[in-house]
A and B are shown apart, each in its own frame.
Chain A
Amino acid sequence: MTNDGLQNIGGTLPYSFNTIEYPKVPAQLDWADRFGSWRCRWGVDRMRYLVSPGIYAVGQPVAESPVFVSANYKMSFDRLRMELAGIDAWIMVIDTKGINVWCAAGKGTFGTDEIVRCVEEFKLADIVSHKSFIIPQLGAPGVSAHAVKTQCGFKVVYGPVRAADIPAFMAAGMAADAEMRRVRFPLADRVVLIPMDILMLAKPVVFIVMFFLLAGGFHKRGFSVSNCLHTGCASAGLFLLVYIAGGILGPVLLPILPGRAFSVKGVWVGLAVLLAGYLLGFRQLAGGFSLASWALIMPVVSSVIVMNFTGTSTYTSLSGVMREMRIAVPLQIVGAVIGIGLWITSLFV
């Protein structure tokens, strides 16, 4: 790994233990940490928001202190340390290439091999007198607890899903109750993911906006820039409106949109935008070929963006997404082709 993107952690002090110096990080986040997280939520340098793998101290840890294992995505590391106020602990950051715990576990980079490697490289057995560490539960898809034990002698204790439950987990003698083991997907968790979900498809969206702007210039008698500014802008605007509505309302209304398949949930958003635009008297939606075209394009666009949210959600399975895509994608393609055909027709009649 290059040093590119490595973050300094504000308030870090040297911590000497058994004649070796470790970085001691505060259990509070400062404004730079919060700003950094916010930037990542908007996709700014999100893939280069790293902390160095290694051993960190929080509080005044000793040989008996617990060890928490974390990914080297700084947002993961920050979420952990901010919950360790009043707890003397070690943090072992492993190299997950700057990816958060759950996603890295899915890829295997937060996994048995890397953990065992770090135990050896960082000489964990020389620091602590016990033989266990706490791994976030969402790391489990990449970790075999029994294999870790066999390979390096350390027992894996699975911590809670949410870092926020760590104080309760520690107070209960390193025990998580059933609720701490459940992944939920409440409104607040869905909302923070909206910007990335919208930005993820930015490239095709820009391309489609350009298409509407340029193609909107054609009319019966040829091409005019004034039509680009009128029909083109209006069409690009309608497209962006339904795209952003899907990107926001899909996640916000996820539990109440009818249907289990995300592609179906998305359709409702597009139809709602269509109806709203019609009732508000948008010229493009007044009737004829133009209305017909948007009646197809809008549900297709919102269906695609909400379907894309499967990757962001916390409960969809590979088999399930493949099942819905096998039906939804052909329908989306047919809907889009006919919709664009009708839209082009509307330019010339």
Chain B
Amino acid sequence: MSLKYLQNVATLELDTEKCVGCGMCVTVCPHAVFVIEDKKAIIVEKDACMECGACRENCPVSAIAVRSGVGCASGIINGFIRGTDPTCDCDKNGGCC
């Protein structure tokens, strides 16, 4: 059985105009969100996106936008308490992941 998370929440966006079809997004994505078709990337599994940001960082023409961050309840609570972005650094001894 496959593990699927919430639908219609991922902030991933691809600007097909800018895309040069290099395929780096296909290479780095751990959830097979992209495929290359007719020398352009397309998003085929947007709901599988975990917003890690790997595609955005490795797109040489900045065609990908995504709000990346930790998909972690404790991290979000930490950020909420401290008034910062969600962070893995649970306590002063280091991170939880």
Contact = CB atoms under 8 A, between A and B. Distances in A.
Nearest to A326: B76
B94 A47 contact: yes
A102 B88 CA distance: 12
Interface string B64-86: 00011111111110000000001
B50 A255 contact: no
A143 interface: yes
Given A311-B72, A320-B10, A321-B73, A137 B28 contact: yes
A256 B4 CA distance: 11
Nearest to B32: A182
B16 interface: no
A84 B90 CA distance: 34
B93 to A, nearest CB: 6
B30 A137 contact: yes
Nearest to B74: A311
A316 B67 CA distance: 13
Contact of A103 (B7, B32, B49, B88): B88
A145 B57 CA distance: 8
13 contacts: A47-B94, A106-B53, A144-B57, A178-B32, A200-B90, A255-B3, A308-B73, A311-B88, A313-B3, A314-B50, A316-B72, A318-B68, A318-B70
Nearest to B96: A200
Given A182-B31, A316-B50, 9 more contacts: A99-B95, A106-B69, A107-B95, A144-B58, A145-B24, A181-B27, A320-B6, A321-B76, A325-B73
Contact of B3 (A146, A158, A196, A254): A254
A320 B57 contact: no
Interface of B: 1-7, 9-11, 24, 26-32, 48-54, 57-58, 60, 67-76, 86, 88, 90, 93-97
A320 B74 contact: no
Nearest to A144: B57
Contacts of B74: 200, 308, 311
Interface of A: 47, 97-100, 102-103, 105-107, 137-138, 140-146, 158, 161, 176, 178, 181-183, 185, 196, 200, 254-256, 260-262, 307-308, 310-325
A256 B53 CA distance: 28
A315 B5 CA distance: 7
Q: Which one of B29, B31, B50 has the greatest number of beta carbons of chain A within 10 Å? A: B50
B86 to A, nearest CB: 6
A254 B3 CA distance: 8
Nearest to A323: B9
